[in-house]
Amino acid sequence: MLFDKFQEMADFQAELAGKDVKPFGAVTEELISATEGIVQGKQVILAGTNNYLGLSYDSRCIEASRAAVDKWGTGTTGSRLANGSFAEHQALEAEMADFYGVDHAICFSTGYSATMGMTATLAGPGDVILLDGDSHSSIYSGVKLSGAEIIRFKHNDPEDLAKRLRRLGDRTANTLIIAEGIYSMLGDVAPLKEVAAIKREYGGYLMVDEAHSMGVMGESGRGAAQAAGIENDVDFFAGTFSKSLGGIGGFCTSRHPELEAIRFCIRPYIFTASLTPSVVASTREALRIVRAEPELRDRLWDNAGRLFKGLTDLGLMLGPSVSPVVAVQLADRAQAIDCWQALLNAGVYVNMVVPPATPSTNFLLRNSVSAAHSTEQIDQIIGAYASLLDGGLINPDQAA
Ligand code: PMP
């Protein structure tokens, strides 16, 4: 039957309903600040937002957005190819290109359509895509649509990438290599220095999805490639406006002039309505703030380091390195569900990542840190995790 494949999800939903726990689609009923809200009737610290710089609630971004609504109305009612290219979009594209020090940029309506659209379009039948095994769903969706030969290399394993690239011989001229800056689940950073060196040796084109690293890493906030000093080796930077920039939308920037022809071949660019001007305006303001206020990044990393150390000191099992994504690894789904609810009861909202809701073999509570978190809030988050150990929901012998 058509619906058979949804049975596992239906069973999972029934399990959650039986426990009266709602970790998916938990409703934020009120927002108090960038880091506090009322979620399911409880006042909580928001620790699962991707709001890395707190800019979704910045008064300057809100004001820019408000002014744009007055000027442009609520939506564009068309795609960029048709009636949906407004001066705001062009200005944002010029600013994104300038930010990355390149001549070409495309803005998309979501980050998902940016990475999906670019990967689906850049490579086609007869080409090869070499992607990290832990790539985001948007990348998997895109490569599937591309028609190219798809080869996965082991997550963050440059030697495996080199081996597979070597085997391709002359075909590397038609190969797109895809990596992310910070991986969204465990917060680990790609070994981009090594990846770039391999690309230099064997050839190919490199796309880096900086969704979680733009605004977060690098001297001027351009991301993990900037932090690794290999930006000249990157052919395409992709990313999102929905995390550090606090809005919605996605981008691709490139030094290749061909991006202007590619633009009109990307279906999730051609056949979907363009970004609402008010979102473009807040994104432009957020980008200006990212460039003008590097201290926001310092604050973010201080907070990330504090949370990582606090949770490590509790003995919890975390991702491999300090990053604004701090993932706590648990034993199984039942434990993740119970801990998620206990954290909510203790006033901390985090993300739960478990199969089948995500195609992952990990059972995670995923915390995302913000520059807008106060030191006290970080300590409260640590305190809430300590209460999981005190309450016996996590055993000390289960820790790292
Ligand atoms: N790429 C990566 C690596 C992501 O983690 C995400 C979102 N989690 C996206 C792309 C899609 O971005 P958006 O949610 O802004 O559509």
CATH for the stretch 76-275 = 3.40.640.10
Mean pLDDT, range 366-376, rounded to an integer? 98
Listed in order, the ranges of the chain carrying CATH 3.90.1150.10 are 4-57+294-398
Mean pLDDT, range 245-269, rounded to an integer? 98
d(CA 105, CA 250): 10
pLDDT of residue 396 exceeding 80: no
Annotated active-site residue 184? The verdict is yes
Give pLDDT, residue 397: 67
Mean pLDDT, range 74-103, rounded to an integer? 97
Average pLDDT along the chain:
96
d(CA 344, CA 388): 11
pLDDT grade, residue 399 (50/70/90)?
Answer: low
Q: Which of 162-176, 225-239, 386-400 has the lowest mean pLDDT?
A: 386-400
Q: Which residue minimizes the CA distance to atom 12 of ligand 1?
A: 111
- Check if 242 has its Cβ closer than 6 Å to any atom of ligand 1: yes
Give pLDDT, residue 360: 74
Give pLDDT, residue 121: 98
Mean pLDDT, range 230-245, rounded to an integer? 98
Give pLDDT, residue 132: 98
Give pLDDT, residue 398: 66
Mean pLDDT, range 381-387, rounded to an integer? 98
pLDDT digits (tens, 9 = 90+) for 89-133: 999 999 999 999 999 999 999 999 999 999 999 999 999 999 999
Listed in order, the ranges of the chain carrying CATH 3.40.640.10 are 76-275
Mean pLDDT, range 18-29, rounded to an integer? 89
Task: Among 52, 112, 244, 353, name the best residue to mutate to test ligand 1's pocket (greatest count of ligand atoms within 8 A of Cβ).
Answer: 112
329 CA from centroid of ligand 1 (Å): 21
Give pLDDT, residue 400: 53
Mean pLDDT, range 206-231, rounded to an integer? 98
Mean pLDDT, range 204-223, rounded to an integer? 98
187 CA from centroid of ligand 1 (Å): 13
pLDDT grade, residue 19 (50/70/90)?
Answer: confident
- Check if 367 has its Cβ closer than 6 Å to any atom of ligand 1: no
112 CA from centroid of ligand 1 (Å): 5
- Check if 110 has its Cβ closer than 6 Å to any atom of ligand 1: yes
pLDDT digits (tens, 9 = 90+) for 294-351: 999 999 999 999 999 999 999 999 999 999 999 999 999 999 999 999 999 999 999 9
CATH for the stretch 4-57+294-398 = 3.90.1150.10
